[in-house]
Copies of this chain bind each other. A is one copy, B any other.
Amino acid sequence: MAPGYSEGMPSTDATDDALRLDQHLCFSLQAASRAFSGVYRVLLKELGLTYPQYLVMVVLWEHRELSVKQLGEHLRLDSGTLSPLVKRLEAAGLVRRERSAHDERSVHVHLTEEGAALRERALLVPRRIAAATGIGLDEVRDLRARLDRLTTALDAAALAEVPDLG
């Protein structure tokens, strides 16, 4: 039942089994995520976007203008990742950054004409991706729900792992 080690000595201990690569949900997750990136990479090349840049544009197409902080809340990214990424989008002419008048600390990112126009060309991407997954809308919805619950649980656990309070 259990493949065990290469020596042909099957491990019957569940704790041992748990250390096998194929028992790691995190690996299946990461593999699927990278496979997704690979498909997006091909589709997005003609838009001149990387996959993380595409996600930033998706958020901006939905909200038009956001601070770096707000972008990070939507995408779970911090300024260390977003600052250079947004700069590259600005260099590509898709967004512009401006200091807020109300709060000089924050920087608002908004679409340029060109950035807004790119949305038209991006509309086909989700359909082509959906076709590539080979699964139906219902299963996609179900998977998303499960994954989001998983993320919430893991975030909570990560906080608990760094007690700070004894």
Residues of A whose CB lies within 8 Å of any CB of B are: 5-7, 15-16, 18-21, 23-40, 42-43, 51, 55, 58-59, 61-64, 74-76, 119, 122-123, 125-127, 129-135, 139-140, 143-144, 146-151, 153-158, 161-162
Contacts and interface: CB of A to CB of B under 8 A. Distances in A.
A26 B36 contact: yes
A4 B123 CA distance: 15
Contacts of A125: 19
Q: How many copies does the complex hold?
A: 2
A97 B85 CA distance: 37
Contact of A162 (B23, B42, B148, B157): B42
- A-B pairs with the 10 shortest C-beta distances? A132-B157, A134-B153, A18-B126, A35-B154, A28-B147, A26-B36, A42-B161, A32-B147, A35-B151, A28-B144
B62 A20 contact: yes
A55 to B, nearest CB: 6
Contacts of A20: 58, 62
A155 B29 contact: no
Nearest to A153: B134
A148 to B, nearest CB: 6
Contacts of A126: 15, 18-19, 23-24
Contact of A64 (B6, B27, B122): B6
